[in-house]
Amino acid sequence: MELPMMEIALLLTILAIALVLFITERLRADLVSMLVLLALVLTGVLTTSEAFSGFSNPAVITVGAMFVMSAAAMRTGIAAYLGRLVRAVAGGREWALVCVIMLAVATISAFVNNVGAVALLLPVVMELSRQSQLSPSKLLIPLAYGSLLGGVCTLIGTPPNILVSTIGAQYGLRPFALFEFTPIGIALVLGGVLYMTLIGRHLLPVRRTEEIAESIPKRYLTELIIPKGSKLITKRVHELNWHERGIEIIEIWRGPRPIFDIWGWVSFQEGDLLIVTGKAEEIFKLKEEFGVEIRPEIEFTYPWHKSDDIKRVEVILAPRSSFIGRTLAELDFHNRYGLTVLGIARHGTLLRGQLAHIPLEFGDTLLLQGPQRRLEQVAPENFIVMQPMDWQSVRKEKAPFVLLIFAGVLALAALGVMHISVAGVLGAVLMVLTRCLSLEEAYESIDWKVIFLLAGMIPAGIALEKTGAAKLLAEFILKGIGALGPMVVLGALLAFTSLITEILSNAAAAVLVAPIAISLAAQLGVSPYPFLMGVAVASSSSFMTPISHQSNTIVFEPGGYRFSDYVRVGIGMNILAFLVAMLLIPRLWPF
């Protein structure tokens, strides 16, 4: 086998293994990305400088800068103001709520990262559903979909847009302008709003808050202590009939070890520890009826003062939380953060074991109790709070600076005075210098998992071009459909990219498919811009599964959704995005 073919075979093998790891989620996506980088340099497919070029790539720099600028918009209350505006404008009609929510989140998502936009409006939408007596399941998928569509509207709205522009520039092509995506982005947003208002909302399930608890139970794992004087002392498990209230006893601990006797005949004693699962309201009723105490996740020494404003809130573990993969015991959670975890819920999974020793996962719902000031310190980068909070730490006086800096960055990039990466870094630095956020907050705001994912996958795109694998794959595709013309090839590219985006991250999909798109255009003798735009649009068309994008994952638990809900509604959105792209891309970027 000739050396180039050996390199291509080696590269495709590495990418195939990476694809399997991405799909099975045996390893985290950013770790898989780093393994790809190492494999490419250790096998000699790439040089050291090529392998690590992703860390200095303008796309990665731009994405990092946008994380910082987005955080400044959140911490100064600008984005929250838009949330209050939604509440005032929407009214109580379902179709109007769907329309306003999608337009609002799309507007925010065009300039703020998608997940941040969803996290901002999630408590607002939950409150709107309560006020309007509508099921949250009717509003939360539209919220997630609106964020995905809004991200397409500008170059900085979502990482795939930045990536395809940067990859094109590496091939000597003109980078996309800041608002070059806007016409097709607006068409997608309006089309998506129309679809969800007329069709999609009728396909969504009607699950009231109480029905969500019944049909897809949010069963918190909680620990109860039987104190002296409790009504449970001397009672037997079989006498309680707690199962009729949805309470299940998972384990009973007496002293340092669990009891292995037949539980039905176990008599409770003072000091027994019960590990139970059930709905939060039923667990709190046990406290009142039987005099049991809800045990904090670990023994703690942090004092709550009488002056503290104690809150009890439900929160979702955010995608970039530093708590992911760690246990409450490892975090020393209460002593370090001054908050108590009363329970943990994981959608579709019955949690077992002691609360303090369960590794946390993205999307977990935690029931927290503690002073609001402590919640404000830990929540912004780690939790999505599911009810509206009057945050005292918002720096409203800095909002004008944020608006001016955002406007300046957009103007510099749009007029071509600076590359978007330079303008973005300038904006991020100015946010810190004007104290819109601290340097520590700026570092915390960056989703380092995304940064490492991009930095590791960009060299894979370089390898596709360097080895000739992109050209070979393009030739293979053209043998089958090349004779049918560029429109058919564009359609196939859109469909393929959209499909792999459902199982890969949208950024990884864009990095891998963009070099192939450029090779397809070169061999067809047509402009590469429609194909690159197709990759960008399709990479953001991840509507059919709750795991295809973090925005979809965030609303999964509070909406009480099933996997099939996304498929049923999302397939129409995917078809809509495909049709809009096929109609507009060849007209806006001719072959």
Averaged pLDDT, 335-339: 77
> Are residues 280 and 314 both part of a single domain?
no
Question: pLDDT tens-digit profile of 224-241?
Answer: 888 888 888 888 877 777
Cα distances (angstroms) measured from residue 387 to each of 119, 129, 316, 497, 519: 11, 11, 11, 36, 49
Q: SS3 for 354-397, per residue?
A: CHHHCCCCCCCEEEEEEEHHHHHHHHHHHEEECCCCCCCCCCHH
With respect to residue 86, please indicate whether it lies within any of the assigned structural domains. Answer: no
With respect to residue 467, please indicate whether it lies within any of the assigned structural domains. Answer: no
With respect to residue 247, please indicate whether it lies within any of the assigned structural domains. Answer: yes
Residue in 180, 160, 177 with CA at minimum distance from that of residue 458: 160
The domain boundary, picked from 248, 264, 291, lies at 291
Top pLDDT among 170 and 79 is at 170
The reported pLDDT for the residue numbered 576 is: 95
Residue in 441, 442, 278, 252 with CA at minimum distance from that of residue 344: 278
Domain span at 250: 228-291
String of DSSP letters for 284-314: HHHHHHH--EEPPSS---PPPPTTS-EEEEE
With respect to residue 337, please indicate whether it lies within any of the assigned structural domains. Answer: yes
Q: How confident is the model at residue 29 (pLDDT cuts 50, 70, 90)?
A: confident
The reported pLDDT for the residue numbered 422 is: 92
Our count of domains for the chain comes to: 2
Helix (H, G, I), strand (E, B) or coil at 315: strand
Q: What value does the mean pLDDT of the chain take?
A: 82
> Are residues 261 and 328 both part of a single domain?
no
With respect to residue 260, please indicate whether it lies within any of the assigned structural domains. Answer: yes
Q: What pairing do the DSSP bridges indicate for beta strands 340-345 and 273-278?
A: unpaired
The reported pLDDT for the residue numbered 79 is: 61
Q: How confident is the model at residue 198 (pLDDT cuts 50, 70, 90)?
A: very high
Cβ pair 534, 493 in contact under 8 A: yes
CA-to-CA distance for 405 and 366, rounded, in angstroms?
Answer: 36
> Are residues 370 and 315 both part of a single domain?
yes
The reported pLDDT for the residue numbered 587 is: 94
The reported pLDDT for the residue numbered 299 is: 44
CA-to-CA distance for 87 and 278, rounded, in angstroms?
Answer: 32
The reported pLDDT for the residue numbered 38 is: 93
> Are residues 374 and 316 both part of a single domain?
yes
The domain boundary, picked from 385, 409, 429, lies at 385
- pLDDT value at 505 more than 50: yes
Cα distances (angstroms) measured from residue 437 to each of 117, 348, 567: 18, 38, 40
Residue in 207, 284, 312, 311 with CA at minimum distance from that of residue 558: 207
CATH of the domain at 368: 3.30.70.1450
CA-to-CA distance for 36 and 58, rounded, in angstroms?
Answer: 20
> Are residues 271 and 244 both part of a single domain?
yes
Residue in 402, 511, 450 with CA at minimum distance from that of residue 69: 402
Give the single-character DSSP code of 417: S
With respect to residue 332, please indicate whether it lies within any of the assigned structural domains. Answer: yes
Q: How confident is the model at residue 214 (pLDDT cuts 50, 70, 90)?
A: very low
CA-to-CA distance for 463 and 452, rounded, in angstroms?
Answer: 17
The reported pLDDT for the residue numbered 215 is: 41
- pLDDT value at 3 more than 60: no
Averaged pLDDT, 484-497: 91
With respect to residue 298, please indicate whether it lies within any of the assigned structural domains. Answer: no
The domain boundary, picked from 291, 318, 333, lies at 291
CATH of the domain at 233: 3.30.70
With respect to residue 347, please indicate whether it lies within any of the assigned structural domains. Answer: yes
The separation between the first and the last C-alpha atoms of the chain, rounded to the nearest angstrom, is: 37
Helix (H, G, I), strand (E, B) or coil at 254: strand
> Are residues 325 and 278 both part of a single domain?
no
Averaged pLDDT, 469-498: 87
Question: pLDDT tens-digit profile of 267-297?
Answer: 888 888 888 877 777 777 887 788 888 765 5
Question: pLDDT tens-digit profile of 448-473?
Answer: 888 888 888 888 888 888 888 888 88
283's tokens = 């667990």
- pLDDT value at 301 more than 70: no
The reported pLDDT for the residue numbered 305 is: 43
> Are residues 286 and 316 both part of a single domain?
no
The reported pLDDT for the residue numbered 211 is: 46
485's tokens = 């013309």
- pLDDT value at 565 more than 50: yes
> Are residues 316 and 381 both part of a single domain?
yes
Top pLDDT among 576 and 79 is at 576
Question: pLDDT tens-digit profile of 105-161?
Answer: 999 888 887 887 887 788 778 877 877 778 888 999 999 999 999 999 999 888 899
